Amino acid sequence: MRRSLFPSLAWQNIRKNAKFYLPYILTIIGTVAGFYIITAIASDEGVAKLRGAAYVKLMMSLGINIICIFAVIFLLYTNSFLMKRRHKELALYNMLGMEKRHIAWLLCCESLYVGVIGIGGGLLCGILLHKLVTLALFKLLRFDVPFGFTVSIEAIKASAILFSIIIAITLLFNLVRIRKAKPIELLKSSSAGEKEPKTKWLLALIGVLSLGAGYYIALTTKTAIQAIMIYFLAVFLVIIGTYCLFTAVSIVVLKQLRRNKKLYYKTKYFIGISGMLYRMKQNAVGLANICILSTMVLVMVSGTLSLYLGTENMLDRFCPGQIVPQIAINNETENRFQKDIIIENIKDIISKNNGKITKLENYTYLAFAAGRGENYYHTTITEGFNAGFVQLCFITGEDYAKFTGKKVDLEENEILFFSDTLKDKENLRIEAGDYSFEFTIVKRIESFPSFGDITAIVDTGYAVVKDDEVLQALYKGQKSAYGEAASDIKWVAIIDTDLNEDNQLKCAREIGNLFSADSMGVCKEFLVNTRVENSTDFYAASGGFLFLGLFLGFLFNMATVLIIYYKQISEGYEDKERFEIMQKVGLPKKEIKRSINMQILIVFFAPLIVAAIHVAFDFRLMIQLLSLFSLTNNKLTMLCTLGTLLGFAVIYGIVYWLTARTYYKIVSAE
Amino acid sequence: MALLEVRNLKKIYTTRFGGNHVQALTDVSFSVEAGEYVSIMGESGSGKTTLLNILAALDKPTSGDVLLSGKDMTKIKDKDISAFRRDNIGFVFQDFNLLDTFSLKDNIFLPLVLAGKDYKEMEQRIKPLAEKLGITDILKKYPYEVSGGQKQRAAVCRALITNPQIILADEPTGALDSKSTDQLLHLFGKINEDGQTILMVTHSVKAASHAKRVLFIKDGVVYHQIYRGNCSYDEMYQKISDTLTLLTTGGDRNA
């Protein structure tokens, strides 16, 4: 056989099979472009010089890894779909006298074309879109936008190599498949799998259990630290559950329905139930994939969106003023910490810089970890924190009054207590080293002002005590137990001024100098947070997250679209035959259309609905995880989730509508 | 009155871009009495399939009438045609046309379900039929699990279960081996003896030889017909063969 025949034959094959090849090539182009852009941003030297670039780099390298894995899995998947559709054609070549090695040559040529078009087109798109995406990213990060148009040779190389390898792997798969197959099997394989699906009770049971377990976990985690630890377990369980749900549970349910003769032999359900049974068998895995991808998109986009939109909220908690100095007080010296002197000094610094203080608040608190005992808390590490540990926070009545404007009058052994998670009602007993405390809870309060850098990643109790003396006593208690690891009493000030950003930073530096020059030795450690710097960091981080979320969301969405498209086509070819038979047996055309329409709707919207349910259950977990980032605006998170869900459903609907037209064209073709 | 009456049927196909007209049926007239077993024979291109499609109301004639029990099928409205077909005509196809998503039993039930019949009634109807056709044991199986002959018997069962006025069979033995063919033809004979009217289109001499009457179509007209009378299958076979030879060699109609 002449070698020169293959290139032109291969080219013809691709053109003739454009219905299958075009989306495949478009996917390669999209993935390559995505990979190029994200690699180019990660390796951009201009970005590296900016403050917060470390976050961006981290996000981008995370993104690179995810796209890598995604590209391999996804391209292999679509390729296998393509090959299944083409078995007959290849078998025919084989029967007509092409040897297997000729077919192999043909496939090599095809892969070469696909690779060149896909990678070339992808890089072109990537280079063109790079600037646009960078602009969008910088806007999100609140960076200044640099000028110029750059092409990253490094990124081009990386993308070309990676995708050449992936396409080579798919080719290898195809060659192995051709090598193994007999022509007769190839001819038949697209009509294989007509068998009725078996009822897999065990798998169905596993599915229900793991889905239930996943949901149970999501509903019962109380704290963020728990949420982190079991998040991936929950995700894992839900993924398994989803696969089983679509493959086994659906079939069990449908078969049970079929057993109900009265119901089954009704015109409305007869064709529907058996049709669904057949469809679920063919499409279960694909639908589960769509469902999981959709869930990922939803969780990713809504999570990162809430994070980004909640950045101000996080900043407010983390850095509630323009300048927020913090001091860990040294209680080991003779000298008492005197906040009034420090406040005076800070006021001096501000006024020396021609500024006026518009707000100045300050408070003192102590927070330490304690083991959970029976009806009490202890600081004995040797006992181990077997029953878990909690965080206890204390502030003075004076400071509490400043925050809330409510005057409190407490005795030495009395406290006000607040906690979402701790159940203590009457009293709070703490065995701290050589000291023992027994507080009477005068009142359990409904809410507590947020303060300091305390986040409730573990069960936390907040208590208002009488005064500094009690705070000191508590400090000594836990110090005697924990030694070096003990917590310090912290003093925090929140300062707002009328200064501009540069001068705010200048003042913050001077306050820092003041603390480090501390001659009395009362200042053990200190930190001066500024809103300006924190804002840059926060937006760099949350903007990076959002960018990654949107970017990957876009890619996963593309994958979803492609799977739906391929499913529609394959459904179409199979339904065509059934459609004709039913017509001959006496089912009116309209009825058939309605029935098939119904089935297709159920098949394609089931993943979306299940994904929405997953997201609903995930919501609590997400809120807890977001609280780690000091994001506590649940209403915002709810709105972001709903918005994302709505947006996604609209896109999904449009995609369905577009691909359904292809489906109808195939089915009603004469 | 005859059960099926075909009068001056004419069908002209026009190619998509106008221009060429192809005359598939020129002038076909014949009638089938209740309880008859009629075969229609003809070469490829003689208009057999066109005729059957019109009889099945799958296609409309250019002119002429088809009357089933006195009702003109060519005048039935599109939306009623499916129901009419379902209630009055049973089909047996060359390639069975069983749905692979249904078990044989459900395939057989399909027309009844479409007609909204009660499940109990379906069960009552299928029992004697399945027994007669010898498929009682395989009802639960799926089309891909059984042989061609069994599939065709299931298809016959599906055609019979609605108690149709007439069975239309399109090359029913075309996809069967000789043993299954014999079985099926034997069954057709038995069904006919029980009073079922059968109209079969075929170009298999053997299949046609089982009918009580054979019509020959050539160039879009009914060219000739043979009655079996008291002939045995073999004599009938011979008669049909002779006629076909005559037809192909272009013999005179009245020979």
- The answer to whether B13 touches B62, Cβ cutoff 8 Å, is no
Report pLDDT for A183.
Answer: 65
Tell if the CB–CB gap between A584 and B91 is shorter than 8 Å: yes
Cβ contacts of A190 on chain B, cutoff 8 Å? none
Cβ contacts of B91 on chain A, cutoff 8 Å? 584-585
Q: For residue A262, give the nearest of B93, B119, B158 by CB distance.
A: B119
- The answer to whether A305 touches A546, Cβ cutoff 8 Å, is yes
Banded pLDDT at A457 (limits 50, 70, 90): low
Q: How many CB pairs under 8 A join A and B?
A: 66
Tell me the per-residue pLDDT of A143-183, one tens digit each, with 9 for 90 and over: 777 666 788 888 999 999 999 999 999 999 888 888 777 66
Cβ contacts of A267 on chain B, cutoff 8 Å? 113-114, 116
Averaged pLDDT for residues B220-238: 87
Cβ contacts of A581 on chain B, cutoff 8 Å? 97-99
Determine the Cα–Cα distance for residues A362 and A346; give it in Å rounded to an integer.
12
B242–chain A nearest CA distance, Å: 35
Q: For residue B122, give the nearest of A265, A267, A591 by CB distance.
A: A265
Interchain contact A191–B (C-beta under 8 A): no
Residue A197 DSSP label: P
Tell me the per-residue pLDDT of A91-110, one tens digit each, with 9 for 90 and over: 777 777 778 788 888 889 99
Model-level pTM?
Answer: 0.74
- The answer to whether A323 touches A507, Cβ cutoff 8 Å, is yes
The H or E element spanning position B30 is strand B21-32
Tell me the per-residue pLDDT of A210-249, one tens digit each, with 9 for 90 and over: 999 999 988 888 777 777 778 888 888 999 999 999 888 8
Cβ contacts of B114 on chain A, cutoff 8 Å? 267, 585-587, 591
Tell me the per-residue pLDDT of B46-71, one tens digit each, with 9 for 90 and over: 788 888 888 888 788 888 989 988 88
Averaged pLDDT for residues A263-282: 82
Interchain contact B93–A (C-beta under 8 A): yes
Tell if the CB–CB gap between B142 and A262 is shorter than 8 Å: no
* Interface with A, mutate which of B114, B119, B163, B167 (most A CBs under 10 A): B114
Report pLDDT for B16.
Answer: 65
Determine the Cα–Cα distance for residues A566 and A17; give it in Å rounded to an integer.
13
State whether ipTM is beyond 0.85. Answer: no
Tell if the CB–CB gap between A585 and B113 is shorter than 8 Å: no
Higher pLDDT, A305 or A663: A305
Residue A194 predicted with pLDDT over 70: no
Cβ contacts of B58 on chain A, cutoff 8 Å? 584
B139–chain A nearest CA distance, Å: 14
Averaged pLDDT for residues B81-97: 85
Amino acid of residue B207: A
Report pLDDT for A569.
Answer: 80
Residue A191 predicted with pLDDT over 60: no
- Mean pLDDT of all residues in chain B? 86
Closest-CA residue of B relative to A272 is B101
Interchain contact B58–A (C-beta under 8 A): yes
A670–chain B nearest CA distance, Å: 13
Interchain contact A192–B (C-beta under 8 A): no
State how far the alpha carbon of B223 is from the alpha carbons of A62, B41, B208, B214, B252, in Å. Answer: 81, 10, 16, 11, 10
Closest-CA residue of A relative to B156 is A585
Token couple for A254: 């449908």
Averaged pLDDT for residues B35-43: 89
Report pLDDT for A193.
Answer: 46
Report pLDDT for A612.
Answer: 94
Interchain contact B97–A (C-beta under 8 A): yes
Residues 6+ apart with CB under 8 A from A409: A397
Long-range contacts of A109-112 (CB under 8 A, 24+ apart): A109/A6, A109/A7, A109/A9, A109/A10, A109/A11, A110/A10, A110/A13, A110/A14, A111/A167, A111/A168, A111/A170, A111/A171, A111/A174, A112/A10
Report pLDDT for A350.
Answer: 86
Residue A372 predicted with pLDDT over 80: no
Report pLDDT for A190.
Answer: 46
B133–chain A nearest CA distance, Å: 20
Q: Which among A87-101, A510-524, B100-114 has the top mean pLDDT?
A: B100-114
Tell if the CB–CB gap between B93 and A278 is shorter than 8 Å: no
- Mean pLDDT of all residues in chain A? 82
Interchain contact B22–A (C-beta under 8 A): no
* Interface with B, mutate which of A581, A592, A599 (most B CBs under 10 A): A581
Q: Which of residues 234-263 of A touch B (CB under 8 A)?
A: 261-262
Share of chain B above pLDDT 90, in %: 21
Tell me the per-residue pLDDT of A542-591, one tens digit each, with 9 for 90 and over: 888 888 888 888 888 888 888 888 877 877 877 787 777 777 777 777 77
Tell me the per-residue pLDDT of A273-313, one tens digit each, with 9 for 90 and over: 888 888 887 788 888 888 988 898 899 899 889 989 988 88
Amino acid of residue A316: D
Q: For residue A277, give the nearest of B101, B109, B111 by CB distance.
A: B101
Share of chain A above pLDDT 90, in %: 14
Report pLDDT for A57.
Answer: 79
Report pLDDT for A185.
Answer: 64
Interchain contact B16–A (C-beta under 8 A): no
A180–chain B nearest CA distance, Å: 25
Three-state SS annotation for A416-440 = EEECCCCCCCCEEEEEECCEEEEEE
- The answer to whether A130 touches A204, Cβ cutoff 8 Å, is no
Q: For residue B101, give the nearest of A274, A584, A588 by CB distance.
A: A274
The H or E element spanning position B40 is strand B37-41
Residue with tokens 């836990």: A478
Residue with tokens 């073709």: A669
Report pLDDT for A382.
Answer: 59
- The answer to whether A528 touches A323, Cβ cutoff 8 Å, is yes
Cβ contacts of B103 on chain A, cutoff 8 Å? 196
Interchain contact A425–B (C-beta under 8 A): no
Determine the Cα–Cα distance for residues A13 and A90; give it in Å rounded to an integer.
10
A233 SS3 class:
helix
B112–chain A nearest CA distance, Å: 9
Tell me the per-residue pLDDT of A22-71, one tens digit each, with 9 for 90 and over: 888 988 998 999 899 988 888 877 777 776 777 777 878 888 888 888 88
Helices (H) and strands (E) in chain B, counts: 8, 10
Name the nearest CA neighbour of A25 among A163, A211, A130: A163
Interchain contact B101–A (C-beta under 8 A): yes
